[in-house]
Chain A
């Protein structure tokens, strides 16, 4: 059965629309930072200085897929019910599941299919103006704001909570954020108070690493992952935390399988290296996992002095190794865009035409939405026969 959809894209800066061309890509990948990276092209605005990447301007990207004429964004509801009361909403949607709001009115398909969307607050990191009146933009999620900063941290003594430390640090970068910079209830780990004394008792004069490396050093040791959600708010989550929901890949255009030991994301041994600090020679600079029997060893450099002793450092490479072992064999599915696809989401593949691949389940490793072809490339790991 042919599925009919329509895809619309928009890009705004300070509420003003940019003329976004139907080309470019948007990638979500939790194996790199920034988590969201995009390459887009717009018509050069009259005042091109608003795109100056040296100012890290923030833009809002909306990707929307409809399967009929219907409501999509919450703002559509506001427009539709402006001046009304909640009773008017109830009158229209009474008896319907919440998902019906995102479903279709006047569907183009014989079955209702929920609309998909992705809204991302991104920063412009590079701009190229072309003589033909177009401008290429490189965009990235909030991690980029931490990656270039090396100023003295104004860190008060913390209670040993990694999450609290992150909040203080992130607020230091985003003083205009008055509310949460990390989502409440996210994962945490406690740093022993005695280990903190030498680090946070007195604000250091300077750090020999950028803020991102500093925070990642802590997160890695606690087997946590700090990342910036497309909504612009940072998350501190268990490294293996899955994303709710399952994406069914049911409009497959291609699905090659790759087994590649040269892939940088695969190794069967890991060494984690930290910076050396002559003032704290007792801090380890190296920890490893699996290296005695490994056939390929990956070296992960963390550009920060280890803030903790060996017993806290040792779990880090094991966690990284476990993740790397899941890679190396992957299937890259080209499917029609589904903008609700995200890394760490469960995925099902049931396409009889893929004779070599029985109905399977897996986990989304990364996804790239192509705005020109209207198709996405989904890298799937942990494939298991359903």
Chain B
């Protein structure tokens, strides 16, 4: 089971369907005039991506969508190995599943914070 809380509201989707995570390297690569490179090492930036949650209940889906629009830091806990603290970044989309018309998809763009 996966849940997300901002300390006031807790969202518990029926399922997490997609979990995307990417990170951007913090290294700076310097292309030298003589060929070759020098490197300034840097830590990777925190992970970012999209979480796709499924809700079987419209009210729960819209409530989650509304709660996620607030300015807050969220903590995600999951039986999957994806626990983290994050803020929303980029787009968030709520839509009815086209084929079944019985489930709601909530795609949440996120950026991990430390």
User: Could you tell me which A residues sit within 8 Å of B by CB distance?
Assistant: 1-7, 108, 251-255, 336-337, 351-354, 373-375
Contact = CB atoms under 8 A, between A and B. Distances in A.
B81 interface: no
A353 B40 contact: no
8 contacts: A2-B38, A3-B39, A5-B40, A6-B42, A251-B30, A251-B38, A336-B30, A374-B30
Contact of A353 (B28, B30, B34, B42): B34
A373 B28 contact: yes
A4 to B, nearest CB: 5
B31 interface: yes
Listed from nearest, the 10 A-B pairs whose CB atoms lie closest are A353-B34, A374-B40, A374-B28, A353-B33, A3-B38, A6-B41, A251-B38, A4-B39, A252-B33, A336-B38
B80 interface: no
Interface in B12-44: 28, 30-42
Which of B31, B33, B34, B37 is most buried by chain A, counting CB atoms within 10 A of its CB? B33
Contacts of B34: 252, 351-353
Contacts of A336: 30, 38, 40
A351 B35 CA distance: 11
B33 A5 contact: no
B37 A2 contact: yes
B40 A108 contact: no
Which of B28, B35, B40 is most buried by chain A, counting CB atoms within 10 A of its CB? B40
Contacts of A108: 41
Nearest to A375: B30
B36 A5 contact: no
Contacts of B41: 4-6, 108
Contacts of B30: 251, 253, 336, 374-375
A352 B36 CA distance: 13
Interface residues of B, number: 14
Main secondary structure of the interface of B (DSSP, over half): strand
Contact of B36 (A2, A373, A374): A2
Nearest to A3: B38
A8 B18 CA distance: 36
Given A252-B33, A352-B34, A353-B34, 8 more contacts: A2-B38, A3-B38, A3-B39, A5-B39, A5-B41, A251-B30, A354-B33, A374-B30
Which of A2, A254, A255, A373 is most buried by chain B, counting CB atoms within 10 A of its CB? A2
B60 to A, nearest CB: 32
Contacts of B39: 2-5
Contacts of B37: 2
A92 B57 CA distance: 67
Contacts of B42: 6-7
Nearest to B31: A253
Which of B31, B32, B34, B41 is most buried by chain A, counting CB atoms within 10 A of its CB? B32
A253 B32 contact: yes
A5 B30 CA distance: 11
Contacts of A352: 34
Contact of B38 (A5, A351, A354, A373): A5
A198 to B, nearest CB: 58
A373 B29 CA distance: 9
Which of A108, A253, A374 is most buried by chain B, counting CB atoms within 10 A of its CB? A374
A373 B40 CA distance: 9
Contacts of B35: 353
A336 B32 CA distance: 9
A351 B36 CA distance: 13
A117 to B, nearest CB: 15
Contacts of B38: 2-5, 251, 336
Contact of B33 (A254, A374, A375): A254
A96 to B, nearest CB: 25
Contacts of A351: 33-34
A229 to B, nearest CB: 27
A326 to B, nearest CB: 25
Contacts of A253: 30-33
Contacts of A252: 32-34
A336 B40 CA distance: 8
B112 to A, nearest CB: 17
Nearest to A337: B40
Contacts of A255: 33
Contacts of A375: 30
A5 B39 CA distance: 6
